[in-house]
Amino acid sequence: MEYFEIIGGKKLRGEVTVNSSKNAAVGLLMASLINRGRTTLKNVPQIEEVNRLMEVMESVGVRFEKNKRDLTIIPPKQIEIGKINRAAAERTRSIIMMVGALSGQLKNYIIPQAGGCRLGSRTIKPHLFALEKTGIEIKVQADGFSVSVKKLLPGKRIVLYEKGDTVTENILLAAAQIKGKTEIHLASSNYMVQDVCFFLEKIGVKIKGIGTGNLEVDGLDSINKDVEYEISEDPIEAMFFLSIAASNGSELLIKRCPIDFLELELLKLEKMGFKYEIVKQYLSKNGKTNLVDIKTFSSKLVALEEKIHPLPSAAGINIDNLPFFVPVAIFAKGETLIHDWVYENRAIYFAELNKLGAKVTLMDPHRVLIEGPKKLKGVTMTSPPALRPGAIILVAMLAAKGKSILKDVYHIERGYENLVERLQKIGANIKRVKGS
């Protein structure tokens, strides 16, 4: 088992480039399953979450051709779902999107139970309620989801039970394979959903309302097209580096930040005293995503009077960006209330930073009160079994004086590519160590 060894308390300097999005990549891998032609995804992140999905797809007959960071997906004549790699499938929550993706090809199939981060009760009922409107029947079993598709039903108006990213992608994949129009209301407008929509358009599906909460999908009963699509950059990774810069006063140039999904985060940080400058604006290689380069400066931070909380839309703080305000708040003068209303127990992990010397008071399973500024000291601890809580502990350890050891880092490396090497390039004293 690998662990990170960190000598913290050092201000970092240099340039770092934001990689392509983990969440967009897994959505696009699932979306490629509806295409009977060759799909080439460009700039694929080299991370464990992607590796798990590739293992699953290979097990059912999909072939891959890799060329550096580009991945060509070659579909089989027939998906052999009975041969699915259950061990790999059960390690990623993204596997749930296979239900919608395979609905146009298979009549009866079983998908293993979704895994991923342990963040309390993450019901799949929104998926069931949405997909049943298209004629997909799902029964939850002890070892997975039993799916039956008699006939896909067009012309439906579907109101999502929950404005979630994955459920929006799942129903999009099903609707894309139904000839005729499907309306999706209360859809997520988040970055990964937009990437899936842009890809579906490239393979011939017509979609109205991209970037809004109402989508109209004009699907096809057969999709067979050779296509290339460049994955957009990851706003959550951008926020990771912004959190590092703010919490330990680092002067960084963070390149290729998807600004449309960071605007409120930057405004909140600015009102906390964080100093930065946007030095360049341009488009991503997909021609859709607005990017900027952000230069950060050493700053003196203050707490916000208002609580910091997420919203399930591009107009609010991203749910996955919220945790990165926790290490920032530790170094801000005053008290910061952070309300993580989405997950039942993610906020509990925020209190783990007390082991480093923070003062994080857990008020209930959703809210923490953080008193700052505090001086942190290095410790040895185990990463929580969740990506973002693990990442914020790493951010705090980079700012903490002395030596820290962070054990069980698999969940962090699910979402961040070559993280140790990239941190080393901006001056971090960190190394990956093989455990015994």
pLDDT band at 402; cut points 50, 70, 90 = very high
pLDDT band at 313; cut points 50, 70, 90 = low
CB 90 within 8 A of CB 112: yes
Tell me which residue has tokens 């011939």.
204
Residue 436 CB neighbours (<10 A): 4
Residues ≥6 apart with Cβ < 8 Å to 305: none
The mean pLDDT of 310-334, rounded to a whole number, is 91
Tens of pLDDT, residue by residue over 406-420, are: 999 988 988 899 999
Q: How far apart are the first and last CA of the chain?
A: 7
Tens of pLDDT, residue by residue over 28-77, are: 999 999 999 999 999 999 998 899 999 999 999 999 999 999 999 999 99
Check whether 119 has a pLDDT greater than 50. Answer: no
CA distance 194 to 192: 5
What percentage of the chain has pLDDT greater than the value 90? 86
Q: Name the region of 347 (left: φ>0; alpha: ψ -120 to 50; beta: rest).
A: alpha
The mean pLDDT of 368-383, rounded to a whole number, is 97
CA atoms within 13 A on the CB side of 152: 27
CA distance 17 to 15: 7
Check whether 240 has a pLDDT greater than 70. Answer: yes
**Smallest Cα–Cα separation from 351: which of 373, 380, 330, 334?**
330
Q: What is the pLDDT of residue 436?
A: 63
Q: Name the region of 155 (left: φ>0; alpha: ψ -120 to 50; beta: rest).
A: left
Residue ranges of domains in the chain, CATH in brackets = 2-19+233-434 (3.65.10.10), 22-230 (3.65.10.10)
Tens of pLDDT, residue by residue over 124-183, are: 889 999 999 999 999 888 878 899 998 888 878 999 998 899 999 999 999 999 999 999
Check whether 93 has a pLDDT greater than 50. Answer: yes
Q: At 11, which amino acid appears?
A: K
What is the average pLDDT value for the chain, to the nearest integer?
93
